[in-house]
Amino acid sequence: MAQGAGNKDIADKLVISGKTVSNYITNIFSKLQVADRAQAVLRARDAGLGNKRN
């Protein structure tokens, strides 16, 4: 998600269903208290996760 992958790409890479990815992302949003992918990615990067770009 931090690399811009969509649900289908994530599902294919993890060999799980798109619905499972959607459920996981919904749970991530809830736990991070964010409304969308952009906010979730920013929160993760601020916490030191993912690839930071200079």
Per-residue pLDDT of the chain (54 residues; tens, 9 = 90+): 878 899 999 999 999 999 999 999 999 999 999 999 999 988 988 888 876 554
- Structure token digits, residue 28: 């991530």
Note every long-range contact of 3-9, with CB atoms under 8 Å and residues 24 or more positions apart, other chains counting.
3/50, 3/51
pTM here is 0.76
Number of other CB atoms surrounding residue 21 within 10 Å? 21
